[in-house]
Amino acid sequence: MAPTVFDLISLSAVSLLITLAIFKGSKINTPLRGPQSPSFIFGHYRYIQEQNDPELVYEKWAKKYGPAYQVTGPFGSKRIVICDPKANAHFYSRETNGYVQTKLAHVFIENLFGRGVLWAEADSHKRQRKTLMPAFSNAAIRRLSTVFYDAVYKMKTSWDATIDNAKAEYAVIDVQKWMNHVSLDSIGIGGFGHDFKALENKNTSVVEVFDSFDDANTDFFSRLIFFLGPVFPTLQNLPTKGNRMLRQLRETMGKIADELLKRSRRVSDEKEDSVIADKSIIGILVRSENAGTKLEMSSEEVLAQMNTLLVAGYATTSISLTVRLLNNYFVKFLIQKSFFFGGQWALIELSRAIEKQDKLRIEIAGLGGTDPTWEQLTSGLPYLNAVVHEVLRLHPPVNETTRVATEDDIIPFTSPIITSQGLPTDKLFITKGTIISSPIGYMNTSTTFWGPDAREFKPERWLEEDALCNLRAKEIQGHRHILTFSDGPRTCLGKTFALTEFKIILAVLIRHYLFELLDGPNTQIDKHPSILPRPKMRGYEGAVVPLKVRRIEGE
Ligand code: HEM
């Protein structure tokens, strides 16, 4: 006899009760399998850092141990990696309440940036986000698109002069440096109505500090001190290069934020320049500061948001500033240079695949020799959209989210997990205090979800909606089934800002220039050991990405 609905409900209820009785009663995590720790001191931390392609390691582990497994951190600490769409959706939906920044990460963010949105959890986070939200609305970003066009055309003027001076068909240009500077000027003007003039090679202190990160060929000890300094402030007195940079960065950020805040308040009070106040992110912040009751932010919070956005903005088209805990001891602060990170990866990928670069150029030329309008950027250029999403899928600047559980929880899974005792289960019992990691890079590039060509740069996959429907990737929640912008209550606030800037800069550059790798498609790209491992051309000093840049005839 076929089971009735009542039978099925009863069975599910009984199995849930058993699960609760087994795991909740005993107050232990579901015991999981996982790789042997290669070192008591470092756990898997160093091993993962040393891999050229950490995503492959996660893929190997997921294949061997299933969708949840345990890895070790320094001194025997543990964290659980969840590689299942349903489990990730559950995890992200409980961000800021059920799962929060670890204590060390929290202290680190507070000491470096203050009590802004990235620091806040639960109700305070909700309130700060609600206040910031209007500054990142589609309408607000649409108004900022002229800022991005101005920045990229300023860059174009310099590039044209460089090509003219080269007296050759092309010039060799370090696109990494230029992407940094275009990002800084964009966030400066779009965020605060402040022109850093990085594109004019003005060496303001903020440019110097950020540029110095790329030269920071610091040793392991120095980096360790750098990352732990904000948590154990006495370490910041040690005379390491990282510490000097950190001090300089904090002073510079504080001064700029202070100055900008004063200026914007003056502008706002006197209504001298409503454009700055209305358009820029700081304008919204100042308004919220003066707002009185409901959405009021303290001055301290306003400064903290500015610090956060400033770093993020330079560091990218934004702030993609995250903290990831590699276990209870190791906080790694990632100043994510998201846009330029994405921007330079876009140019590298398109230089490796000239036919895809041409395809993009043809689409842009179809606009009839003009730059894309807002409508075209948002829905009229499918291949541009596909290239941008493919770059963000393959090269997420933040490749992992790590949080600690604030209470006991049961994480549901789509695929079964086999516990270390050999028992199958589709739920993971988590006790308060457990560290959980969402491996963004793995979820974005695993063959399990994206098919056999998962690791190839193939923008076309975004044009074949039907093909995507047949893949498990469609189960992944998050912007277009990738976790690059995270998900849930802490999902990236600057996503539209970042996508708009990314598309504008790429569209203008591809319309006017042809990009090629110095030694053809097989040019080797290595990792540069900076704050974040970043691409660099093999054989060159530092994090440089020199490309051959040729002008497109008639443009
Ligand atoms: C390609 C570009 C970007 C990527 C990939 C990116 C990615 C992310 C990710 C993964 C997070 C979550 C961080 C965490 O959980 O620790 C985040 C948060 C955030 N991002 Fe971005 N981001 C980008 C650009 C931007 C830009 C341009 C802005 C602003 C101008 C921005 C503003 C923020 C803010 C304010 C948060 C904190 C949100 C919160 O805590 O509620 N991001 N971003």
Q: How much is the ipTM here?
A: 0.99
345 three-state secondary structure? helix
CA torsion 272→275→281→285, rounded to 10°?
40
Cα–chain center distance at 36: 29
Give residue 172's identity as a one-letter amino acid code.
V
**pLDDT reported for residue 555:** 67
For 275-339, the DSSP string reads: HHHHHSHHHHHHHHHHS-STT---HHHHHHHHHHHHHHHHSSSS-EEEEEESSSS-EEEEEE-HH
Handedness of CA 368, 371, 376, 377 (dihedral sign): positive
Please check the confidence at residue 322 and state whether its pLDDT lies above 50: no
With bands split at pLDDT 50, 70 and 90, how would you rate the model's confidence at 412?
Answer: very high
Contacting residues for 506 by C-beta, under 8 A, at least 6 apart = 343, 346, 360, 384, 387, 388
Measured by CA distance, the residue closest to atom 34 of ligand 1 is 493
Please check the confidence at residue 375 and state whether its pLDDT lies above 80: yes
Higher pLDDT, 305 or 358: 358
Cβ of 403 closer than 6 Å to ligand 1, yes or no, is no
Q: Residues in the chain, how many?
A: 555
Higher pLDDT, 438 or 290: 438
Span of 95-99, 148-152, 234-238, 262-266 with lowest mean pLDDT: 262-266
Q: Please state, in angstroms and rounded to a whole number, the distance separating the CA atoms of residues 422 and 416.
A: 12
Please check the confidence at residue 542 and state whether its pLDDT lies above 50: yes
**Look-up of token digits 């990866």:** 345
Which one, of 329, 319, 305, lies nearest residue 486 by Cα? Answer: 319
Q: Strand (E) positions, 76-210? A: 78-82, 99-100, 170-174
Q: Does an H or E element contain 388, and which? A: helix 382-394
Cβ of 534 closer than 6 Å to ligand 1, yes or no, is no
Return the top range by mean pLDDT from 190-199, 236-245, 310-319, 519-528: 190-199
For a pocket test of ligand 1, which of 493, 502, 504 has the largest count of ligand atoms closer than 8 A to its C-beta?
493
Cα atoms in the Cβ-side hemisphere of radius 13 Å centred on 341: 33
Residue 365's φ and ψ, nearest 5 degrees, are: -65, -25
| The two structure tokens encoding residue 409 | 């929880």
What one-character DSSP code corresponds to residue 95?
B
Give this prediction's pTM: 0.86
| The two structure tokens encoding residue 92 | 């992200």
Q: Which residues are annotated as a binding site?
A: 492
Which strands form 78-82's sheet, in the order they lie side by side?
A: 68-72, 78-82, 435-438, 401-405, 99-100
Which tens digit of pLDDT belongs to each residue from 83-98? 999 999 999 999 999 9
Measured by CA distance, the residue closest to atom 17 of ligand 1 is 492
With bands split at pLDDT 50, 70 and 90, how would you rate the model's confidence at 276?
Answer: very low
Q: Please state, in angstroms and rounded to a whole number, the distance separating the CA atoms of residues 16 and 31.
A: 17
Cβ of 342 closer than 6 Å to ligand 1, yes or no, is yes
Q: Strand (E) positions, 133-287? A: 170-174
Please check the confidence at residue 328 and state whether its pLDDT lies above 80: no
Please check the confidence at residue 330 and state whether its pLDDT lies above 50: no
Strand pairing report for 435-438 and 78-82: parallel
Q: Which residues are annotated as a binding site for heme?
A: 492
Which one, of 459, 505, 422, lies nearest residue 181 by Cα? Answer: 505
CA 76-233-402 angle, to 5 degrees, is 40
User: Which atom of ligand 1 has the smallest separation from the CA of 128?
Assistant: 41
What one-character DSSP code corresponds to residue 2?
P
Instruction: Provide the percentage of residues in the chain whose pLDDT is more than 90.
Output: 44
Handedness of CA 101, 103, 105, 109 (dihedral sign): positive
Which tens digit of pLDDT belongs to each residue from 100-121? 998 877 877 777 778 888 899 9
Which tens digit of pLDDT belongs to each residue from 439-483? 999 999 999 999 999 999 999 999 987 778 889 999 999 999 999
Which tens digit of pLDDT belongs to each residue from 226-259? 666 655 667 767 777 766 766 776 677 677 767 7
- CB atoms closer than 10 angstroms to residue 43: 24
Q: Please state, in angstroms and rounded to a whole number, the distance separating the CA atoms of residues 118 and 100.
A: 11
Alpha-carbon Rg for the chain, nearest whole angstrom, is 24
Q: Give the mean pLDDT of 476-495.
A: 94
**pLDDT reported for residue 221:** 66
CA–centroid distance, residue 495 to ligand 1 (Å): 7
User: Which atom of ligand 1 has the smallest separation from the CA of 318?
Assistant: 27
With bands split at pLDDT 50, 70 and 90, how would you rate the model's confidence at 525?
Answer: confident
Which tens digit of pLDDT belongs to each residue from 152-183? 999 999 999 999 999 888 999 998 888 888 88
435 three-state secondary structure? strand
**pLDDT reported for residue 336:** 34
CA–centroid distance, residue 457 to ligand 1 (Å): 23
Cβ of 397 closer than 6 Å to ligand 1, yes or no, is yes
Measured by CA distance, the residue closest to atom 20 of ligand 1 is 492
Contacting residues for 445 by C-beta, under 8 A, at least 6 apart = 55, 59, 393, 394, 454, 455
**pLDDT reported for residue 192:** 73
Task: Say how many Å lie between the first and final Cα of the chain, rounded.
Answer: 74
Bridge partner residues of 250 (DSSP): none
* Cβ pair 554, 377 in contact under 8 A: no
**pLDDT reported for residue 228:** 66
With bands split at pLDDT 50, 70 and 90, how would you rate the model's confidence at 504?
Answer: very high
| The two structure tokens encoding residue 377 | 């950027």
Cβ of 327 closer than 6 Å to ligand 1, yes or no, is no
Class of domain 84-400+433-551: mainly alpha
**pLDDT reported for residue 18:** 43
Higher pLDDT, 385 or 243: 385
Please check the confidence at residue 520 and state whether its pLDDT lies above 90: no
Q: Give the mean pLDDT of 530-547.
A: 69
Strand pairing report for 99-100 and 401-405: antiparallel
Bridge partner residues of 331 (DSSP): 325
**Look-up of token digits 């277009």:** 480
Please check the confidence at residue 506 and state whether its pLDDT lies above 70: yes
Cβ of 334 closer than 6 Å to ligand 1, yes or no, is no
Measured by CA distance, the residue closest to atom 26 of ligand 1 is 318
Higher pLDDT, 341 or 104: 104
Q: Please state, in angstroms and rounded to a whole number, the distance separating the CA atoms of residues 125 and 127.
A: 5
Average pLDDT, the chain: 80
